[in-house]
A and B are shown apart, each in its own frame.
Chain A
Amino acid sequence: MKKINEAKIVFTSHLSNEAFARTAVAAFVATADPIMSELAELKTAVSEAVSNAAVHGYKDKIGYITVKMRLYSDFKVIITVSDKGVGIADIEKAREPLFTTSKSGEQAGMGFTVMESFTDGLKIRSTVGKGTTVTMKKVFTSKDGVK
């Protein structure tokens, strides 16, 4: 399918940028005119990926997070969120519902479950010590009702 638009944003891992990132993605996909629930799902998935990069990837440090957005003519959007943080040793384990390495009581271990359920495809690539890239695909229902 034809790529009709592309954008990239880079920002520091301050948690306040979580809202910036999901708002930017929402603005980027506006031309595809997604229905409200699908837009809400995409924003939630982006939020999860960005907070993971900030909270787990960079922990107490501040680093750069990159969000790449690509929009295709068949109402499909591909979002990648990457960090150059600590990386994930066991991706299968990390994807399990309720699994978290955080002890703050503020993490439910449901981030990857949300990303998986709210998108039409989730890929995680990670190297310990190098960083993590999460790729999410979302196919919007077109206004005439076909996926």
Chain B
Amino acid sequence: MKTEFLKENRILFIFLSGEIDHASARDIILFADSEIDVYRPSKLVLDFKNVSFADSSAIAIVIGRSNKMKKLGKTEKIKIQNVTPTIMKIFSFSGLESYIER
């Protein structure tokens, strides 16, 4: 996992990688939350380009981080990008399509 922070517009990119499942979710959540706490971004972008597998724990990751951004009082909240069609379907089951950056 890598992050990139754009100072000008305070966008935090988190580049997730590998397989996202219930076994790896906890570490991803801890990592993302600590990065959010460090940078206090006005927008968070979760990038799935290097994610080879994801199950429903990815939904919990997105919803949880969205709630965390809301708690910080951020209005633009969160976007997800570069998701595969299968992972896109998983997100759509729980109404997360609107989070997807096109």
| Interface positions of B from 23 to 59, Cβ below 8 Å from A | 23, 25-26, 29, 53-57, 59
A9 interface hit (Cβ, 8 Å): no
**Residues in B whose Cβ lies below 8 Å from that of A97:** 93-94
Determine whether B84 belongs to the interface, using a CB cutoff of 8 Å to chain A: yes
Q: Count contacts on B: residues with CB < 8 A to the other chain.
A: 23
Q: Which residues of the partner chain A approach B53 to less than 8 Å between Cβ atoms?
A: 22, 40, 43-44, 47
B86 contact set on A, CB distance < 8 A: 37, 40-41, 44
A114 beta carbon closer than 8 Å to chain B? yes
Contact between B90 and A55 (Cβ–Cβ < 8 Å)? no
Determine the interface band of chain A, counting residues with CB < 8 A from chain B.
Answer: 20 to 34
Is A62 an interface residue when CB atoms closer than 8 A count as contact? no
A18 and B22 contacting across the interface, CB-CB below 8 Å:
yes
A128 to chain B, nearest CB (A): 23
CB under 8 Å from chain B, chain A span 21-67: 22, 37, 40-41, 43-44, 47-48, 51, 54-55
Q: Which residues of B contact A16 (CB under 8 A)?
A: 23
Instruction: List chain B residues, Cβ under 8 A from A54.
Output: 22
Q: A-facing mask of B76-100, CB < 8 A → 1, else 0? A: 0000000011100110011000000
A68 → B minimal CB distance (Å) = 20
Q: Across the interface, do A114 and B23 meet the contact criterion of CB distance under 8 Å?
A: no
List the A residue with the shortest CB-CB distance to B64: A105
A43-B53, A106-B57, A111-B56 in contact; A55/B22 too (CB < 8 A)?
A: yes
B84 and A106 contact, CB distance less than 8 A = no
* CB-based nearest A residue for B60: A108
Q: List 8 A-B contacts (CB under 8 A).
A: A15-B22, A18-B23, A40-B84, A43-B53, A44-B53, A47-B53, A97-B94, A106-B60
- Extra 6 A-B pairs, beta carbons < 8 Å, given A105-B64, A108-B63, A113-B56: A16-B23, A47-B53, A48-B55, A105-B29, A106-B25, A107-B22
